[in-house]
Amino acid sequence: MKIKSPKDFWAGLMFIAFGLFFLFFALDYKMGSLTRMGPAYFPTVLSSLMVAFGCVILFQSFVLKGERIPAMTFRPVFIIVLSLILFGYLIAPIGLALALVFLVIFSSFAGHEIKIKEVVILSVGMTILSLLVFVKGLGLPFPIWPMFLN
Amino acid sequence: MELQFLNNLSLGFSVAFQLWNLFYCLVGVVLGTLIGVLPGIGSVATIAMLLPVTFNLPPTTSLIMLAGIYYGAQYGGSTTSILVNIPGEATSVMTCIDGYQMARQGRAGSALATSAIASFFAGTVATVLLAMFAPPLAEVALKFGPVEYFSLMVFGLVAAVVLAHGSLIKAIAMVFLGLLFGLVGTDVNSGVMRFTFGIFELADGISFVGLAMGVFGVAEIITNLELKDARDVFTNKVGNLMPSKEDFRRMWLPILRGTALGSALGILPGGGALLGSFGAYALEKKVSKYRYELGKGAIEGVAAPESANNAAAQTSFIPMLTLGIPSNAVMALMIGALMIQGIAPGPLVMTQRPELFWGLIASMWIGNLMLVVLNLPMIGIWVKLLTVPYRVLYPSILVFMAIGAYSLSNAPLDVAMMAAFGILGYFFCKLECEPAPMILGFILGPMMEENLRRAMVMSSGNPVVLLTSPISAGFLLAGAILLGIVLAPSIRKKREEVFVEE
């Protein structure tokens, strides 16, 4: 059997995987009856249906011709995701101001070209703007400066 | 009846004219225009980004602002379509065709003015329609029990899937995925924590804001970064803004047709602005006296889709406000905004919070007026904005999203979840799985489960009750017919053709 539509093939597998995942963990909960549905009832029905649809999509991928999956470049994915996660965990120890500078500078490396001067100006500008809008203006309770300064 | 209508409207305007509401309406429409102008960031991502900001605003004010972003983006998108042939929003794709041709012929000014006039007229009509049809619809919906509600949601999801573009079966699977994501968290009936894996923060469920910002915002940035930043901007002379007498004579019929079609399509679940503008352009191609000029700079090609997308943007609020059913991703976000404020969306909103309902409607009209007055003179500024390179734009967008996610509960986990949903959204994009149906499912998941449960308790576990209630049976039948029509081979081909242009 040859895969005729790679997009559908992987999409089908993804839905089956998600479906089995929810189906498996729904086993831990009470099923109940149709009259008194337990916490497992609705998720079980939904994930079974999703597995079924996933199978149809998977089957289709061997029959109907479809497009290839476009090329993926993992640099932007990796840098953007990592910069966001680190930002989240950096706020408490180093404060919002420095975390923002870090976020702007680090995420800039995901692009095609980096102009150092521009990035520095942008990081400072965005930090000041965010402090004004979110902390001063909207009064969100962020730690602004690193912990050891307080 | 008429007196009631006038009373309602005057209540609405008294709310909308309050200073803060005017201010946030202005903020909304300006932001909307801004992101409408900028390609690479859409109204869904922006509204998702601003949801955390609305925590601190009163519910009416926050809805006024979010709505302003949505219809403001329709205006902004057309500006760049006409001037530089770049649709800032998917909904202004059709305007590119004739609008840009007009600009090349030195008639950019009248194209822009036509688009503004068409949008304003359509916005006004749609606002009146909304004010007229929403109350009776809500009254009908008040009689709905859990059985009817469950079937209505099934119908809404089916219609949304049918009218969405791309593969039908993948869209259905995405709905199921969204429904399941929606169930994560504490089960209201039994108190059992479902799918939380001991993570305390998940007890309240997956954060809607994080999910929406991830699959729309973060994923959009990652996908854009893969493309080369090749956006050459050149500005045509805008020329005289005033359309000629001839222009006026030719534009009014297309505007009327566009408004009518857009208003009708906007109400349908899954409809909304995108379908409206595509439909209106196709209609002009069929019926206009000047149909042979379309594509070569005909004013009809600007007037019709622009009026239709604005009308549809506005009437898509009808099912959201009266039934609590989102018809597209933006409306799902609006419902999210209501729920964040502790307001249960549904027919009761109109009677229990009339100031919210009518204030929002009145603000739409004011917002449309602001857009016309503000935008025509500011076109130069908007075009300048296009020269901002993406390498500057995307870190700035990331900053707003990151702060927004963190501020949900001052927890790093929310930012990490958003990033994770960003990866998921990126894969969805690669596999051509539309995230919009998933968002609708996510919003409706808990409501569907709750209504199904109640329906089954009331009928002692007899599922036939879904078919014996006439209203419920009607919804299910309509859903089945819709699916049947779409699955019919001839229509299926046509549907693919319609959406392939995008």
Q: What is the model's pLDDT at position B424?
A: 96
Out of A27, A43, A63, pick the residue that ends a domain. A63
Same domain? For A89 and A138 the reply is yes
Dihedral angle computed from the Cα positions of residues B57, B59, B63 and B64, in that order, rounded to the nearest 10 degrees: -70
pLDDT, one tens digit per residue, over A100-139 is 999 999 999 998 878 889 999 999 999 999 998 888 877 7
Residues A78 and A124 in one domain: yes
What single-letter amino acid sits at B171?
A
**Cα-flanking dihedrals φ and ψ of residue B192, to 5°?**
-75, 140
So what's the pLDDT on residue A49?
Answer: 95
Flag whether pLDDT at B500 surpasses 70: no
From A40, A63, A86, give the residue that closes a domain.
Answer: A63
Angle, nearest 10°, between helix axes B300-315 and B273-287?
Answer: 140
- C-beta separation of A64 from A8 below 8 A: yes
Task: Kindly state the DSSP code that residue A68 receives in the 8-state scheme.
Answer: P
Which residue, B372, B333, B337, B369, is CA-closest to B356? B337
Tokens describing residue B451: 């209504």
> Read out DSSP for B155-188?
HHHHHHHHHSSS-HHHHHHHHHHHHHHHH-EE-T
Residue A52 domain-assigned (yes or no): yes
Percent of chain A clearing pLDDT 90 (strictly above) = 54
| Contact assignment for B416 to A111 by CB distance below 8 Å | no
A107 and A43 within one domain: no
A54 vs B173, B226, B411: nearest CB? B173
Helix, coil or strand: residue B80: helix
pLDDT over 90 (residue B2):
no
A36 shares a domain with A99: no
Spatial separation of the C-alpha atoms in residues B284 and B280, rounded to whole Å = 6
**Burial state string for B483-499 with b = 16 or more CB within 10 A and e = fewer than 16:** beebeeeeeeeebeeee
> Domain count of chain A?
2
Asked whether the beta carbons of A40 and A30 are under 8 A apart, the reply is yes
Residues B73, B89 contacting (CB under 8 angstroms): yes
Are the beta carbons of B118 and B310 closer than 8 angstroms?
yes
pLDDT digits (tens, 9 = 90+) for A89-99: 999 999 999 99
Residue A74 sits at the chain B interface (C-beta within 8 Å): no
* Mean pLDDT lowest among B11-20, B43-52, B428-437: B43-52
CB B178 within 8 A of CB B437: yes
CA distance A64 to chain B (A): 12
Q: Give A-chain residues touching B406 at CB under 8 angstroms.
A: 87-88, 91, 142
In a domain, A57, yes or no: yes
Residues in B touching A122 (Cβ below 8 Å): 392, 395-396
Compute the distance between CA of residue B86 and CA of residue B335 in angstroms, rounded to an integer.
31
CA distance B439 to chain A (A): 16
- The domain of A57 spans 6-63
Is the domain of A18 the same as that of A81?
A: no
Residue A46 sits in the same domain as residue A84: no
Whether ipTM exceeds 0.90: yes
Lowest mean pLDDT among A94-108, B76-90, B444-458: B76-90
Is there a contact between B66 and B341 (Cβ–Cβ < 8 Å)? no
Candidates B198, B203, B211, B217; CA nearest to B417 is: B211
Asked whether residue A79 falls in the same domain as residue A145, the answer is yes
In a domain, A69, yes or no: no
Per-residue confidence (pLDDT) for residue B502, from 0 to 100:
36
**Is residue A1 included in any domain, yes or no?**
no
In three-state secondary structure terms, B3 is helix
Check A18 against B391: CB less than 8 A apart. no
Same domain, A56 and A103: no
How would you label B144-180 residue by residue, b for 16+ Cβ within 10 Å and e otherwise?
bebbbbbbbbbbbbbbbbbbbbbbbbbbbbbbbbbbb
Q: A52 and A102 in one domain?
A: no
DSSP-derived letter for residue A47 is: H
Is A68 within the bounds of a domain? no
Sequence-ordered strand ranges (E) for B166-322: 185-186, 193-194
Q: Measured between CA atoms, how close is A146 to chain B, in angstroms?
A: 16
- Are residues A54 and A78 located together in one domain of the fold? no
Specify whether A81 is located in the same domain as A133: yes
Beta strand extents in B132-252 (DSSP E only): 185-186, 193-194
- Please report which helix (H) or strand (E) contains residue A87, including its range: helix A74-108
In this complex, how many residue pairs, one in chain A and one in chain B, have their CB atoms less than 8 Å apart?
195
Chain A residues 81-110 within an 8 A CB cutoff of chain B: 81, 83-85, 87-89, 91-92, 96, 100, 103-104, 107-108, 110
Query: How far from chain centre, in Å, is Cα A66?
Result: 26
Q: What residue in A sits closest to B420 (Cα-Cα)?
A: A81
Chain A positions in Cβ-Cβ contact with residue B173 (cut-off 8 Å):
11, 15, 50, 53-54, 57
Tell me what percent of the residues of chain B surpass a pLDDT of 70: 92
Per-residue confidence (pLDDT) for residue B501, from 0 to 100: 39
Statement to judge: residues A84 and A58 lie in one domain = no
**Residue B28 token pair:** 């909304």
Q: Does B229 have pLDDT greater than 60?
A: no
Instruction: Identify whether the C-beta of residue B302 lies closer than 8 Å to the C-beta of residue B99.
Output: yes
CA distances from B117 to B83, B107, B199, B281 (A): 17, 15, 53, 17
Q: Give the tens place of pLDDT for each residue, B382-408.
A: 777 777 788 888 998 899 889 888 888
Helix A74-108, helix B412-430: angle, nearest 10: 140
Model confidence at B320, pLDDT cuts 50, 70, 90, reads confident
